[in-house]
Amino acid sequence: MKVLLTGFDIFKKEKKNPSWEAIKDMEDIYFEGTEIVTRKLPVEFKKAIEIVSDLLLGIKPDFYIAFGLAGGRTTITVERVAINIMDSKAPDNSGYTPDDEPIFEDGPTAYFSTVPIKKIITNLHNEGIPALISNSAGTYVCNTVFYTGLYISEKYELPTRVGFVHLPYQSDQVLDKNVPSYPIEFIKKAIKVVIKSLISEYNEQNQQK
C-alpha cells in the first residue's frame, strides 16, 4: 500500500506552515506494510495543479491526503467537498489572483472526498483529538489541490482515493495572536491517526475481495 501526503510551503507573513512541518518526517516513521511519500507544494494555483497531477500519475498511490492550514479553525477538519473554482481576493505566492475561474474546464462542478471521512473523525475522537467534518475547503489553493487530486484520479482511472485535511495553527505561530492552535506534536499525532485509518480501510477492503 502506498500513501501520498502533501503539505504547503509558507505563505503571506507566516514563517512556518504546519501542513508541511507535521508531515515532512512521516516517510521515516514505520507503518507496517505501507510506503509513505511526502511532498511540499507551493502556495500557487497553477504550479500546484501541475505538481499534484504529475505526482499522482507518477506514483499512483492507493491514497492521497493533502493537508493545508486553516488558521483560526479550532479543530482538525476533514473536508467533504471539492469545488471546481479558483477565486481569491488575495494573490497566491506567485502574485496570481484568480476570479471565478474553473480549475479544469471539462471538470464537474464538485467532487466528494473518496476517503472514509467519518471513520477518520471517529478514530481522531477516540484518541482525544478534536475533529469535525467540513463542507467547504474554500476557493483558494487548498481546494484547488483537493479538486485536482479527485479530477486526475477519475480522468486517468487511478486506484487513488483522495482526501483533504485542514489543520489549525501550530502553537509557535500564535505567540502574539489570540487564535486557536495546537502543539506540532499533537498535530503529528492526528496525522498518524489519519494514516492508520487509511491502512485499516485498505485492509478491510482487501479482506472482502
- Annotated catalytic residues are 79, 142, 166
What is the distance between the alpha carbons of residues 19 and 168, in angstroms, rounded to a whole number? 9
Q: Which residues contact 25 (CB under 8 A, 6 or more apart)?
A: none
Question: Is residue 186 exposed (0-12), middle (13-18) or buried (19+ Cβ within 10 Å)?
Answer: middle
The amino acid that residue 152 corresponds to is I
Three cell numbers, residue 135? 463542507
Query: How many residues are present in the chain?
Result: 209
| Half-sphere CA count of 1, side-chain side, radius 13 A | 21
| Half-sphere CA count of 106, side-chain side, radius 13 A | 4
Angle between helices 184-208 and 117-126 (to 10 degrees): 130
